[in-house]
Amino acid sequence: MTLERKRNPRDDLRSLARLARKYAVSGIVVGDPLNMSGELGPQAEKTRAFAAELGALSGLPIHLWDERLTSHEAHALLYEAGHKRQDHRKVVDQVAATLILQSFLDEKREAGSRPV
């Protein structure tokens, strides 16, 4: 599911918090748009502020996760799957979000299986 952004960011936060309650999620993963150097840019700062508000409103832990190159990887996967390049725009953000979540889950699973 893709949520359409509202004019008021507070409405976006409320929509996300409602969905989190509806599906009883235990945390929210937010893509962190770092610069290629790993430094914070203006968009990363906006995202982090949004994530902090979302955490406060939902009462859930927020996990910022590096999203560098996920759109590029999403385009490559869509191309390999036979989708026309001009059709990518419709779904590339959904595929990139899936890659971010899968990367987060893989890392948490691997961390859980490592000896202490």
Span 18-61, pLDDT tens digits: 999 999 999 999 999 999 999 999 999 999 999 999 999 999 99
Q: pTM to 2 decimals?
A: 0.85
Span 81-104, pLDDT tens digits: 998 887 888 899 999 999 999 999
Q: Pairing mode, if any, of strands 62-66 and 28-32?
A: parallel
